[in-house]
């Protein structure tokens, strides 16, 4: 029997949680010293222009990634179902920036006729993803440690999923590029790169908290607009664009299709 998404999330320890419960549980699992270290890393990760990914590695290797996922439970429920509906019938699927593979394994279980590959640049996250794959015997899921920006797939995909990663990619590069260059980066580099991984009629599915214009010089251009421009220049049609607002969600859902 295929698990429902709420049942799967519950089995993975992911559930609706208040901010105070989150902190309490982090302290109870990690102890106060390690919890302090986590809060410090999370603080670093949230600074603009930070390329610090060590909070992801810390959460994965200290068994608190389910709390990270619980903090955005509503988003996990809504977005995962929404993406999955677009994956139906697509044979080769890539989940780029998959963290510990929570969504990736779910997509694999829901689409047994497809293969689902998850990539992430953080080794500790991919190790947890492999354990999750084994737990569910998801033979059609696979994972590898890759940087999206240097990833060269040996085959093209029918669908590429990027959820909650686009802003992170840009932030990481913001430390090396000036603001206007960073803004253009999504349009000039990320969109054509991702587009090159997709086969004809394939789809790129994006969800991100993109609603806030991030760079002063581009106050009037949101990341969504930059991405749309980049994908359209790379020959894709935008087939879906909607703003999503919910209890703990505020973002943009986009889909682009290759002719």
Ligand X SMILES: C[S@@+](CC[C@H](N)C(=O)[O-])C[C@H]1O[C@@H](n2cnc3c(N)ncnc32)[C@H](O)[C@@H]1O
Residues in contact with ligand X by the rule CB under 6 A: 53, 56, 97-99, 103, 119-122, 125, 147-149, 163-165, 168-169, 172
**Cβ neighbours of residue 39 under 8 Å, at least 6 residues apart?**
26
* Shortest distance, position 21 Cβ to ligand X, whole Å: 20
Residue 54 · residue 41 · CB < 8 Å: yes
| Residue 153 Cα distances to 83, 94, 258, angstroms | 21, 10, 17
DSSP assigned state of 2? P
CB of 19 to ligand X, least distance (A): 18
Listed in sequence order, the residues at least 6 apart from 167 whose beta carbon sits closer than 8 Å to its beta carbon are 208, 209, 210, 214, 223
Contact between residue 153 and residue 180 where contact means Cβ atoms under 8 Å apart: no
Nearer to ligand X, 92 or 165 (CB): 165
We find the least distance from the C-beta atom of residue 108 to ligand X, in angstroms, to be: 14
Nearer to ligand X, 129 or 234 (CB): 129
Nearest to 60 by CA among 41, 46, 43, 79: 41
Name which of 161 and 200 has its Cβ closer to ligand X.
161
Nearer to ligand X, 97 or 202 (CB): 97
CB of 111 to ligand X, least distance (A): 17
Which residue number places its CB atom closest to ligand X?
97
Spatial separation of the C-alpha atoms in residues 87 and 141, rounded to whole Å: 14
Residue 30 or 206: the one with the smaller Cβ distance to ligand X is 206
Q: Could you tell me if 258 and 196 are in contact, meaning their C-beta atoms sit under 8 angstroms apart?
A: no
Give the nearest distance from C-beta 99 to ligand X in angstroms: 4
191 Cβ contact partners less than 8 Å away, ≥ 6 residues apart: 226, 227, 229, 230, 231, 233, 234
CB of 84: closest distance to ligand X in angstroms? 12
Residue with smaller CB distance to ligand X, 31 or 104:
104
CB-wise, 87 or 172, nearer to ligand X? 172
Write down the least CB distance from residue 162 to ligand X, Å. 7
Q: How many CA atoms lie within 13 A of 161 on its CB side?
A: 28
């Amino acid at each position: 029997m295929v698990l429902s998404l709420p049942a799967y999330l519950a089995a993975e320890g992911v559930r609706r949680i208040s901010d105070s419960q989150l902190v309490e549980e982090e302290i109870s699992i990690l102890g106060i010293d390690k919890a302090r270290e986590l809060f410090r890393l999370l603080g670093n990760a949230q600074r603009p222009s930070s390329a610090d990914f060590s909070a992801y590695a810390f959460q994965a290797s200290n068994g608190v990634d389910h709390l990270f996922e619980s903090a955005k439970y509503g988003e996990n429920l809504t977005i995962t179902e929404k993406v999955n509906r677009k994956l139906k019938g697509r044979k080769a699927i890539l989940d780029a920036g998959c963290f510990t593979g929570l969504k990736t394994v779910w997509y694999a279980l829901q689409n047994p006729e497809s293969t689902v590959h998850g990539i992430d640049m953080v080794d500790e996250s991919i190790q947890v993803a492999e354990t999750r794959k084994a737990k569910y015997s998801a033979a059609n899921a696979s994972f590898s440690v890759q940087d999206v920006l240097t990833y060269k797939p040996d085959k093209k995909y029918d669908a590429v999923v990027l959820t909650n990663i686009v802003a992170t990619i840009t932030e990481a590069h913001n430390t090396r590029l000036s603001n206007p260059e960073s803004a253009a980066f999504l349009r000039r580099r990320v969109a054509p790169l991702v587009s090159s991984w997709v086969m004809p009629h394939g789809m790129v599915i994006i969800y991100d908290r993109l609603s806030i214009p991030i760079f002063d010089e581009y106050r009037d251009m949101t990341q969504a607009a930059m991405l749309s421009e980049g994908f359209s220049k790379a020959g894709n049609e935008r087939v879906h664009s909607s703003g999503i607002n919910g209890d703990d969600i505020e973002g943009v859902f986009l889909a682009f299709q290759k002719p």
